[in-house]
Each structure stands twice: as structure tokens, then as C-alpha cells.
């Protein structure tokens, strides 16, 4: 096998990339379980960096806090923690997280020639079996990214340890990225601000309308591996009934073609994504989803 060297991009071991069959599997199922992309030392360093982040370490602060920012702070107590923009605020996390091989894998899956970071969220599920905030209801990420032109965006879900059902690992509704959506209410509202049973019922109704089964597949992810999911796949996760915190980072990725577009909510108002108040503007005055400060290139062919 030949190793392709890409100008300005580090070499990536081709054995770590998805095979042709894996790429077909991703197109059909909407998810992919990667090979071992991080060493144990890298994963452990990620945990250490995340503990530093929770203790208040920042390389730089966001210039402002946009309206829908997920930003756990110690005052919020032992609920599930979500912190957006960790790749921006924490140099220690970014140094490990932004590994080009992740972009190279994503580029294959999305059949894109460039992959940029879109967002990153540091996640911590405390080991509290009854903690309701630990539950992630069924949702598709595309609904939150309606200001994006791309239909090919995807997410790398990166746990910091072996992650299985007991810890409430991410769970995919197999093949649901191919379903046609039913008419609903404003789907751009984040799952944390919506009724869980409503989301459950939307999933059932959508499956039925598509003549499809709801086949949920928990991602059993060994340490150093990660799962990738398509922006239109329904996914969620359950309680952490283990005796350890479930630590992970969701690294949301965009293909090089992606750009901002105007999107109106059902009530007619213009939707804004958090980036829209932070990133630089394109020459024609639109939010620039290629701003290297917030959306750095992870991989380019
Ligand atoms: O934390 C989880 O289990 C789900 C994360 C998620 O929704 C995502 O990575 O898109
Ligand atoms: Fe998600």
C-alpha cells in the first residue's frame, strides 16, 4: 500500500482509514466505528486536559457567549456537562483532539476533499443512574445546523475510555439518515429544551411513515477508537449505570464545501447558529464557516 503525502498535511497511515466496504457501510447505515486512532497516552492526556478545563484553565476565552451556548460551570452541579467550543478555548484539548487522521477518516466517509472542524463539545455524564440530564433523546444533528448548506456533515464521537451500554454510550438508529422526514414543529430547538416523549414519538412516526424498523445500535467503542455518524441519523444515549464518569468529546465536522445559508424557523424568524455571532464575515457579509480561528481545517487533499 502506498502512503500519500499531501502538501502541508501530515502523513496518515492508510491502514487507519475506512476501507471501500466501510465507506459503503457508512452510506447504508449512517455510522462507522473507527480503528484505533488515538494511543492510550493520547486518550489519557485528553482526560487530563479536560480536567484542567473543568478546573478553569483556558488558553483563550470566547469573545462573547452566544445565546444557545452549552457551557457547564461548577455552579450547575452534578448534572450532565456539555461545553461547546473546547477546541477554541483549550489549547491542551485542541493539541490532542485535532488529529489530522480524524479528518482523513471523515473525508473518506463524507467523500469530501476537505474537512474542517464545525464544533466540539466536551461531555461528562456523572455515574448517577437516575440523573435525568444524562439522557440524550433521539435527535439528528442536522436540525441544529440548518444554517449550513451541507447535507454531508458528520460527527466523531470520541470517548476517553472503553465505552459501552453500561456507561450510556451513543446509540444509533440504523439507516435512519435515509428516512424522509414527517412534518413537525420547530425541529431546530435543542433536545435539552424539548419534551423527551415528543422526540420518542417523532422517531416512531417517522419510522412508520418510511416503512422502516427502529433498529437501535449502541456503539461499543474501545479506548482510542471513535464512532462517526451522519448529520441526518437519529441517535441518542441512556443512563450511565457504571461506577465511573462517561467522558467524551463530540467533534462535529463539516466538508470543505459547507457554507452559511439563511434559514427561517416556522414562525418566520431567521435562525442563528452560535457561530453567527462569533466568526468573521465573508466578503459578502455572511458568517464565514471557514474562519480558521473557530473552524480550522483538519484535513485537506
Ligand atoms: O453524548 C451522547 O451520547 C450523544 C452525543 C451527540 O448527540 C453527538 O455526538 O452528536
Ligand atoms: Fe447529536
Q: Write out pLDDT tens, residues 268-283.
A: 999 999 999 999 999 9
Q: What pLDDT band is residue 1 in, cutting at 50, 70 and 90? A: very low
Please name the residues in contact with 28: beta carbons below 8 A apart, sequence gap of 6 or more: 175
The residue nearest atom 3 of ligand 1, judged by CA position, is 170
Q: What is the DSSP letter of 240?
A: -
Mapped onto helix, strand or coil, the DSSP state of residue 110 is helix
Ligand 1 atom nearest residue 169's Cα: 3
Decide whether any atom of ligand 1 lies within 6 Å of the 80 Cβ.
Answer: no
Measured in angstroms, how far is the CA atom of residue 197 from the centroid of ligand 2? Answer: 17
Distance from C-alpha of 260 to C-alpha of 272, rounded to nearest angstrom:
10
Given a contact cutoff of 8 angstroms between Cβ atoms, the answer to whether 123 and 248 are in contact is yes
pLDDT digits over 126-180, tens only? 999 899 999 999 999 999 999 999 999 999 999 999 999 999 999 999 999 999 9
- What tens digit of pLDDT does each residue of 214-258 get? 999 999 999 999 999 999 999 999 999 999 999 999 999 999 999
Which residue ranges form the domains of the chain, and what is each CATH number? Answer: 17-123+140-256 (2.60.120.620)
Ligand 1, atom 8, lies closest to the CA of 250
Amino acid at each position: 500500500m502506498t502512503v500519500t503525502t499531501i502538501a502541508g498535511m501530515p502523513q496518515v497511515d492508510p491502514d487507519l482509514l475506512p476501507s471501500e466496504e466501510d465507506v459503503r457501510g457508512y452510506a447504508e447505515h449512517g455510522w462507522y466505528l473507527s480503528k484505533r486512532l488515538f494511543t492510550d497516552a493520547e486518550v489519557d492526556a485528553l482526560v487530563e486536559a479536560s480536567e484542567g478545563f473543568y478546573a478553569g484553565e483556558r488558553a483563550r476565552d470566547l469573545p462573547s457567549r452566544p445565546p444557545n451556548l452549552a457551557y457547564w460551570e461548577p455552579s450547575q452541579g452534578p448534572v450532565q456537562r456539555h461545553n461547546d467550543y473546547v477546541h477554541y478555548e483549550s489549547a491542551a484539548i485542541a493539541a490532542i483532539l485535532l488529529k489530522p487522521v480524524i479528518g482523513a477518516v471523515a473525508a473518506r466517509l463524507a467523500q469530501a476533499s476537505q474537512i474542517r472542524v464545525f464544533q466540539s463539545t466536551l461531555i461528562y455524564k456523572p455515574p448517577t443512574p437516575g440523573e435525568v440530564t444524562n439522557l440524550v433523546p433521539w435527535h439528528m444533528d442536522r436540525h441544529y445546523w440548518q444554517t449550513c448548506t451541507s447535507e454531508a456533515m458528520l460527527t466523531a464521537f470520541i470517548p476517553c475510555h472503553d465505552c459501552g451500554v453500561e456507561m450510556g454510550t451513543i446509540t444509533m438508529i440504523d439507516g435512519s439518515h435515509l428516512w424522509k422526514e414527517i412534518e413537525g414543529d420547530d425541529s431546530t430547538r435543542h433536545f435539552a429544551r424539548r419534551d423527551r416523549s415528543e422526540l420518542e414519538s417523532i422517531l416512531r412516526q417517522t419510522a412508520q411513515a418510511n416503512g422502516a424498523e427502529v433498529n437501535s445500535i449502541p456503539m461499543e467503542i474501545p479506548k482510542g477508537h471513535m464512532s462517526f455518524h451522519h448529520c441526518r441519523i437519529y441517535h441518542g444515549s441512556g443512563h450511565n449505570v457504571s461506577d465511573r464518569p462517561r467522558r467524551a468529546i463530540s467533534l462535529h465536522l463539516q466538508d470543505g464545501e459547507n457554507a452559511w445559508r439563511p434559514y427561517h424557523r416556522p414562525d418566520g424568524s431567521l435562525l442563528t447558529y452560535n457561530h453567527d455571532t462569533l466568526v468573521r464575515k465573508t466578503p459578502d457579509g455572511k458568517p464565514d464557516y471557514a474562519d480558521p480561528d473557530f473552524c480550522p481545517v483538519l484535513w485537506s487533499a
